[in-house]
Amino acid sequence: MTFRITGLSAENFAPYFGQSDDVLAAQGIVRTVVTGKPGFPCRITLEDAEPGETVLLLNHASHDVATPYRSAYAIYVREGAMQAADYVDEIPPVMSGRPLALRLFDTDGMLVGAELVLDGAVKPGLERALARSDVAYIDVHNAAHGCFAARVRRS
């Protein structure tokens, strides 16, 4: 089963890049200097940011649907990231070494299944889920912290 994993569009976050800490704080956004790797997964590039880089911590509606499964939570984006990652039949670096939750949704945005996968089992988990005819897309979340990692669709 061919699948595509894409990062979030940088256009959604570019207006925040370079803003003062006060302007960001007024919008509930925190600028942070990365202190270690891993630990600051960018949702645009789908890589962990490097120590010394700045990231923005902000709330993001990852599953913005009119169902009980609407979801929003904190994510990191690299300040200045301009190109969304695009992976076909490959697992992005940000999904390695972390336990992940796969949330399976139908075309109406209703949850039809879920699976916990560990490092090395991500690709088979995605392929199993996408083999189901009732699954339209998968939202991947970090299992421990619960934050959105990326959306997966058939390619």
Q: Domain spans of the chain?
A: 3-154
CA–CA distance, 139 with 80 (Å, rounded to integer): 24
The whole-model pTM stands at 0.93
Please give the backbone phi and psi of residue 4, each rounded to the nearest 5 degrees, phi first. Answer: -130, 130
Q: What is the pLDDT of residues 22-34, one digit of tens each?
A: 999 999 999 999 9
Q: What is the pLDDT of residues 128-150, one digit of tens each?
A: 999 999 999 999 999 988 899 99
